[in-house]
Structure 1
Amino acid sequence: MIVLTRLNDAQFAINPDLIERIHSNPDTTLVMVDGAKFIVTESMDEVIALIAQFRARVISMARDVPAVPFRHGAGLGLVPAAGSGGKPAENDSSTKTVPLRPRNK
């Protein structure tokens, strides 16, 4: 998130990945991907610099995360693998599958 200032001096944080365009005629206006518009006191160059700093910080933080060795096909360990002995009991009604039925035409 980057912190910007509205014309009434109120600060707000915005996700820079959702900015579609930036206009600077005469005020700096951010146009978001959903069509929302925000007018800010910062110049276009300042907003672009803040976005670049934000992305550099994200990359820097990602480099600091220790790498976890990945074994192909090992999965994430969130769900027991099929046939691993960790499967649910056969009579457990919460895990029964419901057969699909054809669509009505």
Structure 2
Amino acid sequence: MITLTRLSGSQFVLNSDLIERVDATPDTVITLVDGKKYVVAERPSEIVKLVREHRGWVVAMRDVLEADGPDPEPHLAPVASLHIEQDQEA
């Protein structure tokens, strides 16, 4: 997610994975994959920098989580075994 600024000055957070393109017309217009458009104060080059930084952070967090190792005990039980246990109790 990246934080952007509307022309009115209010800020919002956008899922950068949904960006299809960024146009300068002369205002910066972000078009999402679903066709929705946002006009923002940031220049296209700033948006590219924000997306790169966010994706770098995601990769870095993946490495941190992998370094912790897998969870030794799963917290969820398979659905099938839950049904079997419930049937046996009845």
- Structure 1 residue runs of 5 or longer lacking an equivalent are 71-75, 93-105
Q: Normalising by structure 2, what TM-score? A: 0.79
Structure label with greater radius of gyration: 1
Identical aligned residues as a percent: 38
| Divergent runs of 4+, >3 A | none
- Structure 2 residue runs of 5 or longer lacking an equivalent are none
CA RMSD of aligned residues (A): 2.5
Matched, 1:17 2:17: yes
Inter-CA distance 81–42: structure 2 relative to 1 (3 Å threshold): closer
**How many residues matched?**
85
Between structures 1 and 2, the one with greater helix share: 2
Deviation at 1:79, TM superposition (A): 2.5
Residue-by-residue CA offset, 1:13-47 (whole Å, 9 max, x unaligned): 00000111110121110001111100111100000
Query: Structure 2 CA distance, aligned partners of 1:18 and 1:80?
Result: 33
- Higher mean displacement: 40-49 or 58-67: 58-67
Q: Normalising by structure 1, what TM-score? A: 0.69
